[in-house]
A and B are shown apart, each in its own frame.
Chain A
Amino acid sequence: MKHDRSQQQALKSLAGAAAADPKLWELRLYVAGKTARSVAALENLTRLCEEHLPGKYRIEVVDLLVHPKLAKGDQIVAIPTLVRKLPPPIRKVIGDLSNTERTLVGLQLRSSKS
């Protein structure tokens, strides 16, 4: 994913702010059934949070097969989708989160350059 320069800078500053924020990170992972991909996504997410946000995060897993109506609220199209509910703004990371770097960039825990 390409970003232009100003976006990169914005991301950098936001990442810094987020890392410094002591508040709770509220993350929601949308999956559809217990597929290998969703299991992998949850594992990857948990590992990543433990590493970067120890004690500061909460993961909520939403299975759309069970609660299909919830897909609308967060504009879920792709599965799996990780939504950063807090801190604002809302960020989304789609895929099985196997690429840790990109996931961190997506959650703005790290700027895309580093």
Chain B
Amino acid sequence: MSKTQVSHNRSLPKATTGIAGLDEVTGGGLPRGRPTLVSGRAGCGKTLFAVEFLVRGATQLGEPGVFLAFEETAEELAQNVRSLGFDLEDLVARKKLLIDYVHVERSEIEETGEYDLEGLFIRLGQAIDSIGAKRVVLDTIESLFGGFANSAVLRSELRRLFRWLKDKKVTAVITGERGDGTLTRHGLEEYVSDCVIVLDHRVTEQLSTRRLRIVKYRGTVHGTNEYPFLIDEDGISVLPITSLGLRHEASEERISTGVPRLDAMLGGAGLYRGSSVLISGTAGTGKTSLAAHFADATCRRNERCLYFAFEESESQLVRNMRSIGLDLMPWLKKGVLRLHATRPTAYGLETHLAALHKLVSEFEPRAVVVDPITNFLKSGTQAEAESMLVRLIDFLKARQTTALFASLTYGGSVQEQSEVGISSVIDTWLLLRDIELGGERNRAMYILKSRGMAHSNQIREFLLTNHGVELRDVYVGPEGVLTGSMRMAQEAREQAASLSRQEEIERRQRHLEHKRRALDAGITLQRAQFAAEEEELKLIIAQDRAAAGRLAEGRQKLARSRKADEPAGVARNGARRMAIRGGRK
């Protein structure tokens, strides 16, 4: 992971400490065969650091160790670290470890003339040789300054001691109490110049955070940042992540969010694997429900999911999710889902993140849910919190772990601005908001951004039903965006309006039909009138013609009766002419 971060220097042999994370930060461990100074104020974990260094060496790396204790007896020491799972007595019995309690009681010592600390050398030499020790701890050699008055002698002897330890080729850890403005109260850093590690236990706003920093590591490249570390039942674990840079592989694989409609909004395929998702919204907008859906979907794919709950206990979360039809219990039982519930105020931000880091390394989930991250942003300075979150996101990204963060925003603050610090490292940002309208409060959701996919720009109404989260189209119309019962009412109104419109159309159509029919009827009537008139006229014409015929005939008869000498043809033609004229009339 961070092996690429710190390049290994082959020329300088290193002794693996076995302390989780420290070897990554130091690029392989402490300088082999040389002394390392571990400095810090009271209660920062120096002694524990030293003990773990020896225990890991003895149990895991086959390097027996000598613990020269100046402050605690062997029994006290064994008792103190037993809670961390270290059984010193067993290691002592198996000759893997030797504890020598060096006690200098000033009140019973009188100094006369010259002396040296050969006695200490002899004791240490004897201890190292008796078990073939490769590691040595001097905790805290500065106590000697309280035991001897002649600090000039002491200083020259310490110089000699560290030289001697190098000659002995043992990897040594020397602890020192941090002084004001100096790394150690008595300036041990003057003598131990190869590697200096400072432990720090800071309390900011009543929350404590332990940090480790490598002040100096001669001859090697090392991380210079302050790394948070944890002391828990497994001893020390250092959070070795820094901003890992942007080297992580981008996966093409898409995974479901657990809400089909949301997947559809996200380019139709859901999230990219290994991307980081932020769900932000005010209280009660359904962030946890959405996160639970995501966890459920992950488990359905038979992938492990780690859920950090900072607001609800495990059973409360399970119960609440059951109310929307999500049963997380089977996944918990199966072991694909792990819920880690703690109060955000339980410890400092960095300690939380160190714990997160540790759990992720242990459980190796494919997806991580942090619900919510807001309290992190509130503890410590904004800048600190942001940088830590960026580290966490980078860490998860490097592991191709999809991360979903819920973030609580507060009413009044501009929603897009509240997480502006981490928005740049977020790939997909879903915004949940409530819309207050018509005396009720409804949930709405939209995608603020989603890198690398054509995502929907629509606001969707977000419904929590007894069978999970549902997304609905909101009503967008001339009356604005409507949700909830307003939406339903508006929909009903719309429906009524459209119904009446339909009726109107039908009415108009009927009217048209009616008119057409009326027109048709008119035409038929006129035609009928015309036909009647025509018939009548024809009849008249026929009568006229008949009358004319008869008239001509009468004339002929008259002429014949008068014995007229006019040719008959002329008379006939005249009669025909008249008949034609009558027909035309």
B362 at interface (Cβ–Cβ under 8 A)? no
Name the A residues within 8 Å of B119 (CB-CB): 30, 32, 64, 71, 76-79, 81
Known contacts being A77-B102, A78-B148, is A68 close to B113, with CB within 8 Å? no
Interface contact B113-A32, CB-CB below 8 Å: no
Interface contact B112-A79, CB-CB below 8 Å: no
Name the B residues within 8 Å of A99 (CB-CB): 112-113
Interface contact A102-B111, CB-CB below 8 Å: yes
B104 at interface (Cβ–Cβ under 8 A)? yes
Known contacts being A64-B118, A79-B117, is A91 close to B111, with CB within 8 Å? no
Q: How far is the CA of A107 from the CA of B122 in the complex (A)?
A: 25
B116 to chain A, nearest CB (A): 6
Size category of the binding interface on chain A: 35 or more
B123 at interface (Cβ–Cβ under 8 A)? yes
What residue in chain B is nearest A103 (Cβ atoms)?
Answer: B112
What residue in chain B is nearest A100 (Cβ atoms)?
Answer: B112
Known contacts being A1-B149, A79-B117, is A93 close to B122, with CB within 8 Å? no
- Among A69, A77, A91, the residue within 8 A (CB) of B110 is A91
What residue in chain A is nearest B144 (Cβ atoms)?
Answer: A77
Interface contact A75-B115, CB-CB below 8 Å: no
Name the A residues within 8 Å of B115 (CB-CB): 37, 78-81, 94-96
B114 at interface (Cβ–Cβ under 8 A)? yes
Interface contact B116-A79, CB-CB below 8 Å: yes
Known contacts being A64-B119, A78-B116, is A69 close to B126, with CB within 8 Å? yes
A73 to chain B, nearest CB (A): 11
A59 at interface (Cβ–Cβ under 8 A)? no
Listed residue (A64, A68, A103) with the most chain B CB atoms within 10 angstroms of its CB: A68
A90 at interface (Cβ–Cβ under 8 A)? yes
Name the A residues within 8 Å of B123 (CB-CB): 68, 71-72, 76-77
Known contacts being A77-B102, A77-B104, A78-B148, is A71 close to B122, with CB within 8 Å? yes
Known contacts being A32-B119, A79-B118, is A68 close to B112, with CB within 8 Å? no
B125 at interface (Cβ–Cβ under 8 A)? yes
Listed residue (B102, B123, B147, B149) with the most chain A CB atoms within 10 angstroms of its CB: B123
Q: How far is the CA of A75 from the CA of B110 in the complex (A)?
A: 14
What residue in chain B is nearest A69 (Cβ atoms)?
Answer: B126
Interface contact B110-A93, CB-CB below 8 Å: yes
A83 to chain B, nearest CB (A): 10
B168 to chain A, nearest CB (A): 14
What residue in chain B is nearest A75 (Cβ atoms)?
Answer: B103
Name the A residues within 8 Å of B144 (CB-CB): 77
Known contacts being A69-B126, A77-B119, is A98 close to B114, with CB within 8 Å? yes
B120 at interface (Cβ–Cβ under 8 A)? yes
Total inter-chain residue pairs, C-beta < 8 Å: 102
Q: How far is the CA of A7 from the CA of B125 in the complex (A)?
A: 37
Interface contact B114-A105, CB-CB below 8 Å: no
Known contacts being A30-B119, A32-B122, is A75 close to B112, with CB within 8 Å? no
What residue in chain B is nearest A91 (Cβ atoms)?
Answer: B108
Q: How far is the CA of A92 from the CA of B144 in the complex (A)?
A: 15
A89 at interface (Cβ–Cβ under 8 A)? yes
B139 to chain A, nearest CB (A): 15
* Interface residue SS majority, chain B: mixed
Q: How far is the CA of A96 from the CA of B123 in the complex (A)?
A: 20
B419 at interface (Cβ–Cβ under 8 A)? no
Q: Mark A48-83, 1 if CB is under 8 A from B, else 0.
A: 000000000000000011001101100111111100
Listed residue (B100, B102, B110) with the most chain A CB atoms within 10 angstroms of its CB: B110
Q: Mark B491-525, 1 if CB is under 8 A from A, else 0.
A: 00000000000000000000000000000000000
Name the A residues within 8 Å of B122 (CB-CB): 32, 64-65, 68, 71, 76, 79
A15 at interface (Cβ–Cβ under 8 A)? no
B112 to chain A, nearest CB (A): 4
A27 at interface (Cβ–Cβ under 8 A)? no
Q: How far is the CA of A95 from the CA of B144 in the complex (A)?
A: 16
Interface contact B114-A1, CB-CB below 8 Å: no
B159 to chain A, nearest CB (A): 16
- Among A65, A71, A91, A94, the residue within 8 A (CB) of B112 is A94
Name the B residues within 8 Å of A94 (CB-CB): 109-112, 115, 148
Within 8 A of A (CB), among B430-464: none
What residue in chain A is nearest B119 (Cβ atoms)?
Answer: A76
Q: How far is the CA of A7 from the CA of B47 in the complex (A)?
A: 34
Known contacts being A32-B122, A77-B102, is A106 close to B110, with CB within 8 Å? yes
Name the A residues within 8 Å of B117 (CB-CB): 77-79
What residue in chain B is nearest A80 (Cβ atoms)?
Answer: B115
- Among A72, A77, A95, the residue within 8 A (CB) of B113 is A95
Q: How far is the CA of A96 from the CA of B116 in the complex (A)?
A: 10
A97 at interface (Cβ–Cβ under 8 A)? yes
What residue in chain B is nearest A90 (Cβ atoms)?
Answer: B108
Interface contact B120-A95, CB-CB below 8 Å: no
Interface contact B112-A98, CB-CB below 8 Å: yes
Name the A residues within 8 Å of B113 (CB-CB): 40-41, 95-99
Listed residue (A1, A7, A78) with the most chain B CB atoms within 10 angstroms of its CB: A78
Interface contact B118-A92, CB-CB below 8 Å: no
A107 to chain B, nearest CB (A): 8
A91 to chain B, nearest CB (A): 6
Name the A residues within 8 Å of B102 (CB-CB): 75, 77
Interface contact A1-B104, CB-CB below 8 Å: no
Q: How far is the CA of A77 from the CA of B121 in the complex (A)?
A: 8
Known contacts being A32-B122, A65-B122, A69-B126, is A77 close to B114, with CB within 8 Å? no
B501 to chain A, nearest CB (A): 103
A sample of 24 cross-chain residue pairs with beta-carbon separation below 8 angstroms, ordered by A number, consists of A1-B149, A32-B118, A32-B122, A37-B115, A37-B116, A68-B123, A68-B125, A72-B123, A75-B102, A75-B103, A77-B102, A78-B116, A78-B117, A78-B118, A78-B119, A79-B117, A90-B108, A91-B110, A92-B110, A94-B109, A94-B115, A94-B148, A96-B113, A99-B113
Known: A37-B114, A76-B119, A94-B111. 8 other contacts (CB 8 A): A1-B149, A37-B115, A64-B119, A79-B117, A81-B119, A99-B113, A102-B110, A103-B110
Chain B residues in the interface with A (C-beta under 8 A):
100, 102-105, 107-120, 122-123, 125-126, 144, 147-149
Q: Ordered nearest first, which 8 A-B pairs have the shortest CB separation?
A: A106-B110, A95-B113, A98-B113, A79-B118, A76-B119, A68-B126, A96-B113, A102-B112
